[in-house]
Amino acid sequence: MKRYFVPIFALLFGLSSLNSFAAQFSTKGGSGILYKNFNAPQNGDVFIFSGSMDEVELTFSDSTKNATSFNWFEYESNPADTVKLTENITVFNDSTTLKNIKSDHGYLVKYEYTDTVCTINEIGEEICEEATLSAQRYVWIAQYKPMETVTWNNDSVVCDKLSLYIEPAMKYTLGNAKEESIERDLTIEYFTFKKEENNPPSIQKVSEKPQIAGMEAILTVPYVDTDFTITDDWGKKLGSDAAVFVTDSTYKTFAVVAFPAMTVNDKQPNELDKDDSWDRDEFGNVRVYFSEELAEAEANISQFRTSAPLSVDFVSNPSDKVTRYEWHIARNPDFSGDVVFFQEDLNGFEFKEDSTHYIKLVVFNTNGTDTCEYTAYACLNVSESAIYIPNTFTPDGDGINDEFRVAYRSIASYRCRIYNQWGRMVYDSDDITRGWDGTIGGRPASIGVYFYVIDAVGTNGKKIKTQDNKDTKGDINLVRSK
């Protein structure tokens, strides 16, 4: 004969999705909060209390079962060593309440309930009947302990994550008989060196919710020497006047960081770039900050100028503890064949040849065999050389197309000569940023057809032809509407 249960509600144990915990404890009186509910194997609830326990009542209920026959037990540390309680207990319907609660103690409630039990007999018939079953649940009442000491390991070099050790510990033990730490809900304030959006980096106070592992609070290592102000949010909720702790010693950092930026002069009139919605510094220079990941730097490549020659300034913007710098510049993302420079800043580095260029800054703090380092990346693209020549201009003073101007990218040298119909040269310039205003000797030139001859060489050293691969000579129409 096979026997099984047909529950008319969710089982008490084993369903992690049962967030409401139909069978659970609640408290009344005193200053307390629920820390956590646990399913099997802990099978219980944990509360934290601050101050007197004199007025605290502990109630157990099971809202989905017709619970009966409640029995209370108390233990100090080991759930196997319980003492049955017979006083200060009341029962009302499917709940029971215990008074005279002790902090840093555990309690166990055993109870009975009815459920439908079905069996399959030898000939396959299902037989169901009501049965009395038993269950139990644990609870731990922890006394809140304000922070008394905060320490860190001064003997190890920390480059990434810093561990703070908070004492004293708060512990609990539930049904699995394993002593566990109550993890404090902490907010830590400290000073560090950081950058906000596209603003220059500076020393700033930051607030961080650290990762908690038992008595250990793990946070981002500060990049400057600092003390810590630690707020225990459990303590604040409990109304403790000792919920904030300020370290009495200063953390001496060894870690380093840098927020390098590359800047270049803004583009010239009629100089073509794919994107001109760039960030600019206070001097109007185009600026891009480096990224922590190469892929992010590649994604930001359109945020910088592309028309060569690009005379780029690289500024490291390091934290105080940096002792060594390495600038790597290459045409390959793996930085093979790179050139390396070792100064703090790298000014006036010129990019001429059309290609994608990869830049990496590595900063170090080294003391004997101890080293921390940090790496940041940037990319820029130099566009192919090209010129674009108009066929008409209208020097009528309306501010629209008033000059014959050549649009261009990545031009190293340039000369433009313009002739009238009789072969007389009326304009000669080697400045590609300027154009002919349609005057001869300061007087307006006659409307009609003129002829240009342009000699241009790209920054890649090659002679330039027009966008449709024609020689850079032809005719231009001078038109006036008035």
Residue 303, helix vs strand vs coil: helix
377 half-sphere exposure, CB direction, 13 A CA radius: 18
User: For position 275, what pLDDT does the model report?
Assistant: 67
User: For position 116, what pLDDT does the model report?
Assistant: 86
d(Cα 46, Cα 69) in Å, to the nearest integer? 23
Mean pLDDT, contiguous 10-residue spans, the chain (482 residues): 38 31 83 92 93 95 82 96 96 93 96 87 86 92 97 94 97 95 97 94 98 96 98 95 95 98 91 82 94 96 93 98 98 96 97 95 95 98 92 92 94 96 96 95 95 94 72 90 66
User: For position 41, what pLDDT does the model report?
Assistant: 81
User: For position 6, what pLDDT does the model report?
Assistant: 39
Q: Is the dihedral of CA 21, 24, 29, 31 positive or negative?
A: negative
For the beta carbon of residue 424, count every other beta carbon within 10 angstroms. 9
d(Cα 436, Cα 393) in Å, to the nearest integer? 10
What are the chain's domains? Answer: 2-143 (no CATH), 149-246 (no CATH), 261-382 (no CATH), 386-478 (2.60.40)
User: For position 441, what pLDDT does the model report?
Assistant: 92
Query: Rounded to 5, what percent of the chain is helix, strand, coil?
Result: 5, 50, 45
User: For position 8, what pLDDT does the model report?
Assistant: 33
